[in-house]
Amino acid sequence: MKRKRVLYVLITCLLVSLLTAACSSDNKQADSKDPATGNEKVKLVVWIWETAKDGLDLNMEAFKAKYPNIEVEFQTMKSTDLYSKYLITSSTGDAVPDIITVESTNLSQIVQIDSLLDITDRVAPYKDKMSAYKWEDATKDDKVYAMPWDSGPVVMFYRNDLFAQAGLPTAPADVAQEIQTWDDYYEAAKLIKDKTGAMMYGDSKTNSSNRMFESMMWQRGLWYFDDEGNVAVDSPEIKESADFLIKMQNEGLVFDARANTDPWGNAIRDGKIATVVGGSWHDAIIENQYSPADKGKWSVTMMPKWSMDDKYTGANQGGANLAINKNSKHPEEAWQFIEFMLGSEESQVKMMTDAGLFPAMLLSDNASLEDPSEYFNKESIRKVYAESLANTYPLAYTSDFPMANKLMTDVWAKVFLNNVSSDKALKDMADELRSKTKRN
């Protein structure tokens, strides 16, 4: 009888415990609802670097107003750290982060490891609203795994005062007419050096970032790999571009400093570099970082083409994208965040005008493109960016781009340090790429 009473007490305690837990669980669920909407409150974790976060921050107030149930936690880090951390995260199946920021130069690598959520159906309404090339690295087996954000349409920034001293035209339309091809660019470089002592552009002989070379390739629809994925860096067309830049260096028309380093920037500040052929984001570097005292002395026009017959007039340098971790517990809310930030013209324009992030979204009719830049001689420089973006070959960086970029830097070092011919240096690079990537 005593044993029965003990058993009864134990069962009663267990039932009370279960009821208490259930009530507690109900209370927690009630606490996790947003009182205004009744929706479950969700926290999204976004991995991002600081300058990109600055852009998203501009739209956070509007996002919170539309989605009060979604809390966003930004975890900032260097992009290189972000990729290495995410590779570990993806291999362990972690649900955090929900969203990652990925540069286009690294996107294909991340897509290839099958760690991102397939958002093909979600992005379908935006396919024709973005520059075509931005979808290339986001796609695998006809499935899309990232939403394009900003881009780096390549243009030519130039010192109009140095051009004037050299007897060259200074108005953007006139400069575009005078310097239509790279041969025209070369002739202008000789004139500018002779009349002003300035070099045409800056790049390191032995430690090049390859930005100039890659822009020249991209404008022609060429790359380290061809459309079938075969190694193409030893093709005659690519050798033409390499030989052109070698000629510029050998004739002393280039300031010997790696682009986007302090020695390069200091040369810009000191008026030793006449042009920067680079992505649109160079406007902030020139204006805010290296040459703030030169308001009105810089202008912007289209980059040169290899041939007058070339179909495309633009190229790309960089740009970023947002993607969803396929293990995220909140994929729908993650998409709502991405769509709000990148699918809205209003959001994109705000990031363009206030943070300098020129969108991959095609904004040919947006009035903000007409806004004059006080620094860049009161010119509507965003119109030039938009023209470049709309006329850029739809080319992919590919998953093997980082390797190819590094090997190309070695090519210049061999040419300038060891006096190796461009034929041999490019052939050796191509053979090494074929060996390491198993491409043809």
Q: Which pairing describes strands 42-48 and 298-302: parallel, antiparallel, or unpaired?
A: unpaired
Q: Which pairing describes strands 147-159 and 143-144: parallel, antiparallel, or unpaired?
A: unpaired
Alpha helix positions (H), 328-421: 331-342, 345-355, 381-390, 401-418
What pLDDT is attached to residue 34? 52
* Domains detected in the chain: 42-152+318-370 (3.40.190.10), 155-316+387-437 (3.40.190.10)
Total residue length of the chain: 440
> What six digits make up the tokens of 430?
């191509």
Q: Do the Cβ atoms of 137 and 398 come closer than 8 Å? A: yes
What pLDDT is attached to residue 133? 87
Q: Which of helix, strand or coil describes residue 419?
A: coil
Residue with tokens 């022609």: 220
Q: Which of helix, strand or coil describes residue 273?
A: strand
Q: Do the Cβ atoms of 380 and 372 come closer than 8 Å? A: yes
Q: In the 8-state DSSP scheme, what is residue 103?
A: E
Q: Do the Cβ atoms of 75 and 45 come closer than 8 Å? A: yes
What pLDDT is attached to residue 10? 34
What pLDDT is attached to residue 363? 86
Q: What's this model's pTM, rounded to 2 decimal places?
A: 0.85
What pLDDT is attached to residue 298? 98
**CA-wise closest residue to 385 among 148, 151, 153, 150:** 153
Amino acid at residue number 406: K
Q: In the 8-state DSSP scheme, what is residue 372?
A: P
Mean pLDDT by 10-residue block, N- to C-terminus, for the chain (440 residues)? 38 36 36 56 97 96 98 96 94 95 95 96 96 92 97 97 98 98 98 98 96 97 95 97 98 96 97 97 93 97 97 94 98 98 96 93 88 96 94 92 96 96 98 96
Q: Which of helix, strand or coil describes residue 11?
A: helix
Amino acid at residue number 70: I
Render the burial of 164-191: b for 16+ CB within 10 Å, e for the rest. Answer: ebbebebebeebbebbbebebbbebbeb
Alpha helix positions (H), 58-203: 60-66, 79-92, 104-112, 120-123, 160-165, 172-178, 182-196
Q: How far apart are CA 335 and CA 406, in angstroms?
A: 35
